Chain A
Amino acid sequence: MSYAYLFKYIIIGDTGVGKSCLLLQFTDKRFQPVHDLTIGVEFGARMISIDGKQIKLQIWDTAGQESFRSITRSYYRGAAGALLVYDITRRDTFNHLTTWLEDARQHSNSNMVIMLIGNKSDLEARRDVKKEEGEAFAREHGLIFMETSAKTAANVEEAFINTAKEIYQKIQDGVFDINNEANGIKIGPQHSPSNPSMPSGGGNAGPSGNCC
């Protein structure tokens, strides 16, 4: 399947906040109540459409365990977007956000779009972190915020697609250098930078980068 752009995402957050379930819901549209611990980094992909353009999302689902941190860090580098996930029923996962964010900012490229996700919104009765707190944190750190439920699929699509929209907007604005694959963005096979249908923001990349 051909695509105009390929965006690489990474999902990070404490263990057990539902990162793998979010990915499963987004790629397979199903929910697995019992999910094994992620060992290392797993991978999922899905095609979406923004502004009529086919965009392939390549998503790295990382293990939340502290012991895997060194491995997962190496995946930050090539990601254009990150979903930073916490569990609204567990305050400690919210408290660790700062660490995660620092980690992400340190190891990723500076333009990476980070979305803050408060997962398990279906478990309202067991809520431990208020929505306002999440919003405040996001505001403070310049993140996009959303509460989702991988179980009911509420906001899951939106979380991934809104992130993609943000990245797309940044491309349009010329913030991303789309010819540097280390940014986590790849141009589809049939879209060379010299293509006139390219967004204007790609102009600064120049035709000289037409090596790939």
Chain B
Amino acid sequence: MAFLQWRKFNFFDKETVKDPETNETFNQLKEVNVSACVSGGGQLIVSDYEGKIYFISRSLQVNSFAAYDIRVSHLYQLKQSLSNLLISVGEDEQGVNPLIKVWNLDKMEKGVPVCTRITRAIPANKPTPVTCVAAHENLNWMAVGFENGTVLLFKGDIKSDRHSKQSIVYEGKSAVTGLAFKSAGKNIILFVATESVILSINVSGKDKMQTTLDEFGCKRGCSVMSDMSQDNQFVIARDDALYFYQPDGRGPCLAFEGEKFQLHWFRNYLVIVGKDAKQFPKAPIIRAGQPIEQHMVTVYDIQNKFIAYSAPYPEVIDIISEWGSLYILTGDRKLFLLLEKDTQTKLEMLFKKNNYTLAISLAKSQQYDQEGLVDIFTQYGDHLYFKGDHDGAIDQYIKTIGKLEASYVIRKFLDAQRIHNLTKYLQALHTAKMATEEHTTLLLNCYTKLKDVSKLDEFIMTKDREIDFDKETAIRVCRQAGYYKHALFLANKHNLHEWYLKIQLDDIKDCGKALEYIGKLEFEEAENNVKRYGKILMAERPDETTELLKRLCSDFKPSDRPLVDAGDLEGGKGQQSTQRAPAEQFIHIFVNNSAKLTEFLEHMISLNSNSPSLLYNTLLELYLHDLTHQPKSEEKEAKQKKTIDLLRNPQANYDLDQALVLCQMNNFQLGILYLYEKARLYQQILRYHMDNDAYDLVIQTCNSFGMQDPHLWVQALSYFAKKENLKQQLGVVLHNIDKRNLLPPLLVIQTLAHSPTATLSVIKNYIIRKLQTENDQIAEDERLIKQYQEDTEKKRQQIEELKTTAKVFQNTKCSICNHPLELPSVHFLCEPHSFHQHCFENYAENENECPVCMPENRKIMDIIRAQEHGRDLHETFHNQLERAQDGFSVVADYFGRGVFNKVTLITDSPGRMSRSMSGK
């Protein structure tokens, strides 16, 4: 039976308790016949068979008082509850007459605690010795076990007699050896151990249900309640093993062999006092003539499965725990102190033995902080690494993630070329979200180096996986390593459009996919990316690209979206107008692919006739280019028609000048002519026809546009004049010139004179007609001159008359009132007119003018004045001169107005009043 035990350590330091004052071994209990020991409330409590209870303080001051007249047999201290209560069982009278006393240790009177309750403990009037006592920490339950196998339960406040009910909950055949309370939810469970059976009783339930846990029992003192770490199981010790019990059944068992005397629970340790299984060869210590048995005190850590301390002591009376230490009272009345080592020391001991696993679980159970644990993991990792167990080491290092510098680990494994382990570590690093860019790079490099595509797949492609790495780095590394698929996946998943397209186009060269992808993007993204990659795409996939561009420039919607967004229908219309990209920005993409550009532009224009001029210009250019390079004539015609249609389209918003230049460059006559016409460049049209010697067209042009620009005719004239044998045309031209009076005949003659061909016969008619007209004009003018001369003569005579001859006023009637003239009267020389003076004074505006003639005179005076005034209006003159068909007549007109007169006109009217005041 080798090593059928747990590992043994020495986690406790043994000290003999010494009196601090005398520095001698504590021996004040030397004469005490100890019956029971408990601890709590900062003191050790010992009772003896003489009825005394001793309190030992930390500084080893011993106080005692007589609690019973005869003896104290049992003590029970409530440790966790607030009130510091001590329950004792003893006897005041002879015979079997056990008495329970409850002491309140907080209230001392003259060094004696107040006794709050005295109760007789006699079940069913059958006196029997008490074997054990237990109380629940809530102070409402107390149980007493008896030698005859009876368990007496007290319910109600244990401090006082009054509200307490007692009942017998169990009657067995063998002595009760252990009692313990446990709270399980709302139920209060009482564990009962007798010498022959272990059972649990639900004392809070009405029927006090009993569950027999085992058919064998335990000795006195060999049962204890474990703590939370062991789920408050009831532990009993038997010679073959330790058994753990739940209220409903047996739990695990630990096969620690050997006879056991006492069981204690200290913190998370189980302390067993027993006989060493192995017989010591040492002779038993002889004291006072009596051999004292050697007992083995063993401290077990049940949770972590090791023995924390084990040492022999001479006849242990009891073990008490207080002030965080264990006190062992031995048969020779010595008090030993077991001090637990601090966790650090313990761990160091474990490290020395390379027992890291245990160190870790120990540290965990000691609520060791994270940093401390990481330290252990690191040491463990280092140890395993040193031993060459790289797999194990990395597992430990992974646990240090977040605390230990990752580079420490990485360097170790990089140096050792342990890429597998490194990969694992890096993966964990990523899962813990502690990875930096470099880590991601490194991990991906590891994958690629290992050629572990499946892992890479898992790392990158796993869907719905949280991203714990830097995406861009990952993409970059994947690209570099040639894992385009992965890079692509990442880019796609994380909407890194730029990356996606870069990879798709530069690395994979799958333009179709790229296009499809762009089509799914949001508008702005799509636009930008098309601008960036349009050329490549166009070169590879012209059709699809064109389609995409068409969509982009009309009303773009990501292709994987329903045509109509729900939001749009719900009245968000105003906000989200369809987005379209300006088509002109994409024209450059179509370099070298004019057919597609044409298609695109046509689509755009048909979609939106209001497109910018650049579109039309480009389209026109394309058409023209096509036209020039089109060898087949039939197609050429169709193209021509298309082109001209475009030009004629009133909505086509092309740039006129540019269009013209384009047409000229490509020698597209129809277009040129149309554009001339549109631009009102009639001269150009004419010149064009002239250059092409299209005589009929020249005439036709003159006819069509002569109204707008009469000079066309003149040009036509000089053009025809230079040509030979064009009498007919010349005639037409001359006729028109004549009709519109466009040129003075002299100029016509001059023009024709240069002509080598125009014979007199051509212009004979013209000249004759012209001369005839001139003659008529001259005759007319002469007639007018004559008439004016006569008028002038007449006026002169009149003036002379007025000046020289007397004027007889013969009027009999007043010119105003038509009544017979009476004196006083006023006469004017003009007609002559005569007026009554009073009439004259009433009507005349001034004395000098005849009221009858005055309006006429005024008119004349105004004309004269206006003429004089007009003299100074040079600008008007020039203006009129320029605009006038016949400048000469304007000059003549002004001349007539006396513009060039130096002498000012005499303002005195010829009808100057001569007033005669007849009768005066």
Which residues on A are within 8 Å of B, measured CB to CB? 32-34, 36-37, 39-43, 60, 63, 65, 67-68, 70-71, 75, 78
Task: Tell me the residues in window 196-255 of chain B with beta carbons closer than 8 Å to chain A beta carbons.
Answer: 240-242, 249-255
Complex Cα–Cα for A60 and B243 (A): 13
Q: Give every chain B residue within 8 A of A41 (Cβ-Cβ).
A: 252-253
Count how many pairs of residues, one from A and one from B, have CB atoms less than 8 Å apart in the complex: 41
For A8, give the chain B residue with the smallest CB separation: B249
Q: Is the CB of A36 within 8 A of B255?
A: no
Q: Give every chain A residue within 8 A of B1 (Cβ-Cβ).
A: 67
Task: Tell me the residues in window 1-54 of chain B with beta carbons closer than 8 Å to chain A beta carbons.
Answer: 1, 3-7
Ranked 6 nearest A-B pairs via Cβ: A40-B255, A43-B252, A40-B253, A40-B254, A41-B253, A68-B255
For B254, give the chain A residue with the smallest CB separation: A40
For A43, give the chain B residue with the smallest CB separation: B252
Q: Give every chain A residue within 8 A of B351 (Cβ-Cβ).
A: none
Known: A34-B357, A70-B240, A71-B240. A40 touches B3 (CB 8 A): no
Q: Is the CB of A78 within 8 A of B249?
A: yes
Residue B256 CB within 8 A of the other chain:
yes
Q: Is the CB of B6 within 8 A of A71?
A: no
Residue B305 CB within 8 A of the other chain:
yes
For A60, give the chain B residue with the smallest CB separation: B252
Q: Give every chain A residue within 8 A of B6 (Cβ-Cβ).
A: 36, 39
Q: Is the CB of A43 within 8 A of B3?
A: no
Q: Is the CB of B241 within 8 A of A40?
A: yes
Q: Is the CB of A39 within 8 A of B357?
A: no
Q: Is the CB of B251 within 8 A of A39?
A: no
Complex Cα–Cα for A71 and B255 (A): 8
Q: Give every chain B residue within 8 A of A32 (Cβ-Cβ).
A: 357
Known: A71-B240, A71-B255, A78-B249. A37 touches B357 (CB 8 A): no
Q: Is the CB of B252 within 8 A of A37?
A: no
Q: Is the CB of A63 within 8 A of B255?
A: yes
Shortest distance from the beta carbon of B751 to any chain A beta carbon, whole Å: 114
Complex Cα–Cα for A75 and B249 (A): 11
Task: Tell me the residues in window 249-283 of chain B with beta carbons closer than 8 Å to chain A beta carbons.
Answer: 249-256
Kindly list 10 other residue pairs between chains A and B, CB separation below 8 angstroms, not including A36-B305, A39-B254, A40-B253. Answer: A39-B255, A39-B256, A40-B242, A40-B252, A40-B255, A43-B252, A67-B255, A68-B4, A71-B240, A71-B253
- Of the candidates A32, A41, A65, A67, the one having the most CB atoms from chain B within 10 angstroms of its own CB is A41
- 6 intermolecular pairs with C-beta atoms under 8 Å apart: A39-B6, A40-B241, A41-B252, A43-B251, A68-B255, A78-B249
- Of the candidates B241, B255, B357, B392, the one having the most CB atoms from chain A within 10 angstroms of its own CB is B255
Complex Cα–Cα for A105 and B774 (A): 154
For A38, give the chain B residue with the smallest CB separation: B255
Q: Is the CB of A37 within 8 A of B4?
A: yes
Query: Which one of B3, B241, B251, B305 lies within 8 Å of A71 (CB-CB)?
Result: B241
Complex Cα–Cα for A63 and B251 (A): 14
Q: Give every chain A residue within 8 A of B4 (Cβ-Cβ).
A: 37, 39, 65, 67-68
Shortest distance from the beta carbon of B111 to any chain A beta carbon, whole Å: 49
Q: Give every chain A residue within 8 A of B357 (Cβ-Cβ).
A: 32, 34
Complex Cα–Cα for A43 and B255 (A): 14
Q: Is the CB of B3 within 8 A of A37?
A: yes
Q: Give every chain B residue within 8 A of A60 (Cβ-Cβ).
A: 252
Complex Cα–Cα for A75 and B305 (A): 21
Complex Cα–Cα for A78 and B242 (A): 19
Shortest distance from the beta carbon of B529 to any chain A beta carbon, whole Å: 47
Complex Cα–Cα for A68 and B250 (A): 17
Shortest distance from the beta carbon of A171 to any chain B beta carbon, whole Å: 20
For B392, give the chain A residue with the smallest CB separation: A33
Complex Cα–Cα for A60 and B1 (A): 23
Q: Give every chain A residue within 8 A of B3 (Cβ-Cβ).
A: 37
For A212, give the chain B residue with the smallest CB separation: B209
Q: Give every chain A residue within 8 A of B392 (Cβ-Cβ).
A: 33
Complex Cα–Cα for A60 and B392 (A): 29
Complex Cα–Cα for A127 and B423 (A): 31
For A58, give the chain B residue with the smallest CB separation: B249
For B257, give the chain A residue with the smallest CB separation: A67
For A42, give the chain B residue with the smallest CB separation: B252
Q: Give every chain A residue within 8 A of B242 (Cβ-Cβ).
A: 40
Shortest distance from the beta carbon of A5 to any chain B beta carbon, whole Å: 15
Task: Tell me the residues in window 266-309 of chain B with beta carbons closer than 8 Å to chain A beta carbons.
Answer: 305
Complex Cα–Cα for A67 and B4 (A): 9
Q: Give every chain B residue within 8 A of A68 (Cβ-Cβ).
A: 4, 255
For A65, give the chain B residue with the smallest CB separation: B4
Shortest distance from the beta carbon of A69 to any chain B beta carbon, whole Å: 10
Q: Give every chain B residue within 8 A of A36 (Cβ-Cβ).
A: 6-7, 305
Q: Give every chain A residue within 8 A of B249 (Cβ-Cβ).
A: 78
Complex Cα–Cα for A209 and B252 (A): 29
Complex Cα–Cα for A79 and B251 (A): 13
Complex Cα–Cα for A34 and B1 (A): 20
Shortest distance from the beta carbon of A153 to any chain B beta carbon, whole Å: 15
Shortest distance from the beta carbon of A63 to any chain B beta carbon, whole Å: 6
Q: Give every chain B residue within 8 A of A70 (Cβ-Cβ).
A: 240
Complex Cα–Cα for A152 and B6 (A): 27
Complex Cα–Cα for A83 and B4 (A): 23
Complex Cα–Cα for A33 and B395 (A): 13
Complex Cα–Cα for A197 and B250 (A): 30
Complex Cα–Cα for A170 and B546 (A): 72
Complex Cα–Cα for A119 and B5 (A): 25
Complex Cα–Cα for A67 and B255 (A): 9
Q: Give every chain B residue within 8 A of A43 (Cβ-Cβ).
A: 251-252
Complex Cα–Cα for A33 and B5 (A): 19
Shortest distance from the beta carbon of B22 to any chain A beta carbon, whole Å: 45
Q: Give every chain B residue within 8 A of A37 (Cβ-Cβ).
A: 3-4
